[in-house]
Structure formats: C-alpha cells, structure tokens
Amino acid sequence: MEDKLLLDSLNLPGCLRDRILCRVSPPPVPRNAGAMGTNASGDPGGGSERRAGSFVLYLPTVVLRKRHNPGFALACRLSNHYGVPLLVLATVLDDKHLGRTPLSPVAMTSRRLAFTLEALRESCCPDWESHGAGVAVRVHGEGCRTPHHLSLAHVAAAVVGDEPFVEPYRTYVRRVAKTCRAASVPFWTVDGSTSVPPNPRLARKPPPPAAASAVMDGDVAFSGAPSKAWRWEKATDSVRLYHVTGAHRDKALEAPDLECRLPPDFFLDKPAENTAEEPAADSQTHALHTEHSDGESCWHRLRRAIPPKWTDRQTPAPGQRPWTVSELREITDCKAWALEWGGADASVPPCKQTHGSGAAARKRWRSFLVSGLKDYAKKRNGIANPHAVSRVSCYLNLGILSIFDVLHDVWEARATRGFATGCNKFLEEVVKWREGSYVHAFAHPNYHSEEVLPAWALKDLSGAGANASGKPSGSWYGYEQLESAASRDETWNAMQEYLIETGELHNNARMTWGKTVVHWQKEGFAPGEVVWQLCCLNDRFALDGLSPPSYGGILWCFGWQDKPAGGNQKVSEKWAHRYRTGPSGFRRAREALLCGGSGVVDSVGVDRPGPSPIARKRSYGEVSGAQSPRKKTSRDATNERSEKTSSKNSILSYFGQIG
C-alpha cells in the first residue's frame, strides 16, 4: 500500500510504472508528516521521509546506459522527491558467491571484466555523472569484497536496482533486499531489458517457508509464465508499440534533471588535505547546500554516510575503495588492465574484435542495419560468414544497446526500405525467442535447473546410459575435456575452440554444440549435472553468457519448450559430426571475424591481443569416464565437406547470438 502511494505521488508515465517491482515497501508515513516539511519539489511529506537517509542509491548491473534506462529514471525521480542527492554505485561482481561443487560458473574472467569496464568507462558512468549523480565504480576480487553496496543501502533514503533476471545479479539483489528490509529502506528493481515487462502480467507467488529454501530468501517467483515463447509474443504484441513509442518518442524512460546535484569525484578528499571542503554553491548545486531542520546540509550528511576509506586517495582503488569516473577514465586500455587484475581469470582473455562501449555497440548495429538486415533470413545460417548476423547480443544483455532502439530501427526499416522478409525473421528472434527467455528467468528463480525441464525429457535423459548393473555405460566426457575442446569429434572441438578464442559462436552452431553434449553426457551424468556443465561452458567463454537467452538455449537442448522427437518421447538429436560444415568452416569463420571481414572495426582505441587461449588438452584418458566414440563414416566426411541445407529452426537465438 505504501509502495503504491509513493509511486502515485511521483506521477510516473505508465510504461515506466509497469517496469517497477517493489522488493521492500516504504515504511508507513506518520499522519503529521505533512507538517514537518516539504521536499525539494515542494511536495508535502518530504521532510519526514528525508530524515530517513541522506541520498538515494542506484545499483546498476545489467542496464549499463543512461538513455532508455528506467532504473536510473526512477532513482532520479526519487532523489527529487526526497530532496537528496543520487549516488550511483556500479559493482563488477566476481564469482565467489556462486560456489557449487564440483563446478562454479565464472562471473569474472578477464574477457567479461574488460567488456564491462569498457561499457562503464566509455558510456554510462560519464553520462550519469554529467547528469548530476555521484558515481563510484567498485571491482570485486580476492580481498576486495567489502559489501559497500549493503552498508550504503542500510542508510539510504531509498534504493533502486536493475531487474536482475539471472545470477550473479539475483544473489546481489537478494542481499540488498534483506539489508533494506532490516533497515526499513524501500527498494525497487526496474526492468530495462525487455520491450514488454513481465511484471504486471504475471502473478507474484507467496514467499516459501524459510526452512524450505534459505537460498531463495529475498528472491521472488511468479506464476502465469507461458509454456511456449509464441504465446508470450502473441499476448504482448498489442502493447509492444506502446512501450517502444513511450521510450523512443515520448521519452517516458528518460531521467528528469536532478535538483540536488553532486560534483565530479564527490567522495574523494582534495589532494594534500585530510577533509573535503564543501564545494562552492552555484545555481546547479544550490540544493546540495540547503540546510535541513537540524542545521546540516545534504553535502555533510552524504559525507558522513559514505565509507571512510572512500575519501582517502591513498586507499587502493578499485578494490578497497571505488574509482571515481575520472580515475576510471585514466584506464586507457581496459583489456590490458583486466588481464592484470588479480580477481579475474586471465586464462580467458578479452575479445580483441569487440569493444564494450556504447559507441561500438551502435556502430555494429548500424552496420547490420545497412548491410545485413535485408538478407538476414537468407544468410543467417551460414556460419562461415559471421557478419551475416547482427552480433549485438552481448550489448543487449548488459543493456549497453537499447532494445527500444533495436525494435524501432527494425520497424522503420520494414516500413521504409521494404526489408519485410529479413525484418520479420529478425523480429521473430529478438521478440519471441529472446524475450520469452527473459519471462522464464523472471518467473522462475530456478530458471537454469532440471526442475524446469518437461517430465518426458527427464524420463528420457535420466539413467539413459545405465546397464543392468546400474553403472553408466556409453560415450561421455569429463568436464575438463569438454572445456578444453578435447573430445574425439573434431567438428565439436572446432566449435568449442571457436567459442574459446572469440567469445562467440554462431547461433546455428551453438544449437548443435549443446545438443551433442546432452546426448554424450546423458550416459554418465544426471540431467541436472549436464545442464550445469553446459551453463559453465557457456558462461566461462561466451561474451553474451550469464543471460536469459543463453540459458533458454541450453534448456532447449534438453527438450524445454520443445516437443518430443518422432513421437517416441525422446529428446531430439543434432550431432556435431553431422553438422553442415567440418572444422575448416570454423577456421574460415574465425578468420572472417578476427580479420574484420565486414570492413567494420568495433574497437575504440587500441586493442591488444590477449595471451594464448586455454591450452587444448588432447589426453583423452586424462579424465575418468571417457569412452570410445563411434567411428566416422563416409557420410560424415561428405557432410563435413559441404552440406547446403538451410536450417529452419527458429530456436537458434535462444543462445543469445541474435542475428
């Protein structure tokens, strides 16, 4: 009730309001609050609420942009409502809180760290700061995980975060929610990832008993998510134009001007001084210096609230204290820096062909609009030409590229340029399959487990390789062999090597890559363990991993949102040795990708090639359980040379490599 009253008082546009999910409701406002003061906008009641905290806190994770960012827009509105400044704390998470034996997904490789820092450095952080927010950037690692986001959330007036959808962001949000609940601080998450948010269309489930699921404490689940992606597309088609137009034309997701602005590098003491002087007042920072009823200004309140280490320039950054925006901008080569950061796995080096900035994202997208969209439906399945698809999934998944811009541009191309076939196929991929996976992850906290697989698939895959003695039999591999591309199938090895070296894998190939592993591993592992193996393989190397589309594609390989093959209740097969091209096709694709076959260079500044990728382990007996595969036939050799059939399976983009 209090949540609704507060949001009503903000007069939010409808397409922004639909994206907001209340995680912790505001505490009740005393009846006499109106007599205690007003906020910076003159609204009654602000004085009482303002005393609850000296700032509003925004915690971005998966929407790394300022434009079309509903989370940042809500945070700015709340800042003006409470009459306090806005603090933005961007934390680059590592993987230490996601342990699961025997495998743990890797959230921070040098590849992912460099890409994220490039996005923060080149795009959103300078934009947020120029808007008047105070911006700080933390990078986690060994000995560098002091939860400043939690200590700040505990004393904030309100907290806003991006809707997380998947790990490690769900765990991050759960912990913030628990902190806010204990401190009676309101907390909202806001969806900036989908064109039509699932929140208002699904029913929120009651929280499970604490004893039943301690891991899920602070998370939310929903019922009503459709079992088929096409059903979600059909149910939301009538409102998609409303949301895209609201963002693109009506500016409904843009942040209002801040009334209490912070100066750049606000939390650092001035050089050679022990304390920070209050910045001189001007027309833009007047509200920052206005004294409250207790005689203290917003500036002094904020300085008392931030961690003491933040103010000391001698404190190591970005581990013990955050970077300021200017300090982050001094890192001229984020790829080289990420290789040196002790908290990152440097054995997975940055992608030299992809830069994380918003400028690089828009350049890649414009190139596809001009040269790829028209023939997209016809050429999208040719793996030897990686530039026949858009390759923007990594930018969409971290919100560097706006989904509203993408849809607007495709609709405009269809209406004005006559690219109906290519546009319709692309829209099928980016709306039906991509957003269907987001709805699934939003509704199900266990989104990437065997619990979401259909019963017929579990029956087929469970104990498939057990013989009369109950022991596993058949052909399967240890995880280390898969990770290092050391199977006995040269085509699958070529797929895995391509993923290791480039951080990408063509959507058509990634479907076969996953299906092959499912049917290899079902002989030796339970379905849940095989799901986890594929998740770890994908998240470790793929630049577009750790995202709903990736997990949706992996689950599809196990029969999720699919139908049984051949009417015999079996999970369909797509073997790598029968793929349309052999290892040479992936070598050609790698050359076309890394040599800039499209004539478009995505990097901003100078890219340095990383160290050699992970060494390929060819010792087949190195991991127990590896069995002999079937022998290659003449038919397989023919298929490797050339097979020009066109795949018509629309599920391809579930893996996030949207064309």
Residue 421 sits in a domain whose CATH number is 1.25.40.80
Report whether the peptide linkage leading into residue 548 is cis, meaning its omega lies within 30 degrees of zero: no
Residue type, 448: H
Please check whether residues 477 and 437 belong to one and the same domain: no
Within-domain flag for 533: yes
Query: How does pLDDT run across 264-274, given as a tens digit for each residue?
Result: 999 997 665 44
Q: Which residue has the higher pLDDT, 412 or 52?
A: 412
The per-residue pLDDT for 39 is 46
Identify whether the C-beta of residue 23 lies closer than 8 Å to the C-beta of residue 184: no
The predicted structure's pLDDT at residue 652:
43
Residue 89 has pLDDT above 70, yes or no: yes
Give domain status of residue 502, yes or no: yes
Q: Are 589 and 383 in contact (CB under 8 A)?
A: yes
- Confidence category of residue 207, pLDDT binned at 50, 70, 90: confident
Does 644 have pLDDT greater than 80?
no
CATH number at residue 537: 1.10.579.10
What are the tens digits of pLDDT across the range 471-526? 444 579 999 999 999 999 999 999 999 999 999 998 889 999 999 999 999 989 99
Please indicate whether residue 302 or residue 601 has the higher confidence score (pLDDT): 302
pLDDT band at 64 (very low <50, low <70, confident <90, very high): very high
Q: Is residue 602 part of a domain?
A: no
Residues 533 and 413 in one domain: no
Of 100-109, 216-225, 547-556, the least confident: 100-109
In a domain, 280, yes or no: no
Same domain, 477 and 396: no
For residue 627, tell me if it sits in a domain.
no
User: Distance between CA atoms of 562 and 456, rounded to whole angstroms?
Assistant: 11
Task: Decide: helix, strand or coil at residue 649.
Answer: coil
Query: Could you tell me if 142 and 188 lie in one domain?
Result: yes
- 434 and 480 fall within a common domain: no
What's the pLDDT band for 281 if we cut at 50, 70, 90? low
- Residue 611: how many CB atoms within 10 A of its CB? 10
Model pLDDT for residues 565-603, shown as the tens digit of each residue? 877 889 999 998 888 889 999 999 999 898 754 433 444
pLDDT of 613 higher than 60: no
Beta bridge partners of 137: 90, 323
> Which tokens sit at 274?
């022990």
**pLDDT on residue 92:** 96
Do both 234 and 368 map to the same domain?
no
Burial of 610 (0-12, 13-18, 19+ CB in 10 A): buried
Same domain, 414 and 497: no
Confidence category of residue 638, pLDDT binned at 50, 70, 90: very low
Answer whether residue 646 shows pLDDT above 50: no
pLDDT in tens, 433-451: 999 999 999 999 999 999 9
Contact 520, 477 (CB under 8 A): yes
Amino acid 475: pLDDT: 78
Residue range 44-66: mean pLDDT, rounded: 75
pLDDT exceeds 90 at position 657: no
What confidence category does residue 2 fall into, taking pLDDT thresholds of 50, 70 and 90?
confident
Asked whether 554 and 538 are in contact (CB, 8 A), the reply is yes
**Are 263 and 399 in the same domain?**
no
Rounded average pLDDT over 541-548: 96
Residue type, 571: V
Structure tokens at 628: 């002999």
Number of domains in the chain: 3
Residue 287 has pLDDT above 90, yes or no: no
Residue 8 pLDDT > 80, yes or no? yes
- Please give the pLDDT value at position 97: 55
Residue 316 lies in a domain: no
Lowest-confidence pick of 51-55, 304-308, 411-415, 652-656: 652-656
pLDDT in tens, 144-202: 999 999 999 999 999 999 999 999 999 999 999 999 999 999 999 999 999 999 999 99
Task: Give CA–CA dist 507/292, Å, rounded.
Answer: 57
What does the mean pLDDT of the chain come to? 84
Handedness of CA 341, 346, 352, 353 (dihedral sign): negative
Residue with more model confidence, 3 or 366: 366
The residue-averaged pLDDT of 133-151 equals 94
Confidence category of residue 210, pLDDT binned at 50, 70, 90:
low
Rg value, the chain, Cα? 25
In the predicted structure, residue 629 carries a pLDDT above the cut 70: no
Among 210-214, 483-487, 549-553, 636-640, the range scoring the smallest mean pLDDT is 636-640
Over range 334-346, report the average pLDDT.
Answer: 95
In a domain, 606, yes or no: no
Sign of CA dihedral 79, 80, 85, 86: positive
Does residue 482 sit in the same domain as residue 364?
A: no
Average pLDDT estimate for 27-41: 53
pLDDT at 550: 95
One domain for residues 362 and 398: yes
Q: In this predicted structure, which of 58-72, 94-108, 133-147, 545-559 has the lowest mean pLDDT?
A: 94-108
In a shared domain, residues 431 and 483: no
Give the other-Cβ count within 10 Å of 466's Cβ. Answer: 14
Output the CA torsion sign for 60, 65, 70, 75.
Answer: positive
Contacts (Cβ under 8 Å, ≥6 apart) of 131:
66, 76, 255, 257, 258
Give the pLDDT confidence score for residue 627 in this predicted structure: 34
Which pLDDT belongs to residue 98?
Answer: 60
d(CA 222, CA 396): 24
Task: Assess whether pLDDT exceeds 50 at residue 630.
Answer: no
Q: Is the pLDDT of residue 409 over 80?
A: yes
| Per-residue model confidence (pLDDT) at position 269 | 76
Using alpha carbons, select from 483, 482, 502 the residue that is nearest to residue 610. Answer: 502
Q: Is residue 620 part of a domain?
A: no
Mark whether 170 and 249 lie in a shared domain: yes
pLDDT (0 to 100) of residue 295: 62
Q: Which domain covers residue 153, as residue numbers?
A: 1-28+51-270+299-303
> Has residue 45 got a pLDDT over 50?
no
Contact between residue 376 and residue 422 where contact means Cβ atoms under 8 Å apart: yes
- Whether residue 421 contacts residue 409, with contact meaning beta carbons closer than 8 Å, is answered with no
pLDDT exceeds cutoff 70 at 258: yes
d(CA 619, CA 622): 5
CATH of the domain at 222: 3.40.50.620
Q: What is the mean pLDDT of residues 74-98?
A: 91
pLDDT reported for residue 61:
98
pLDDT at 278: 56
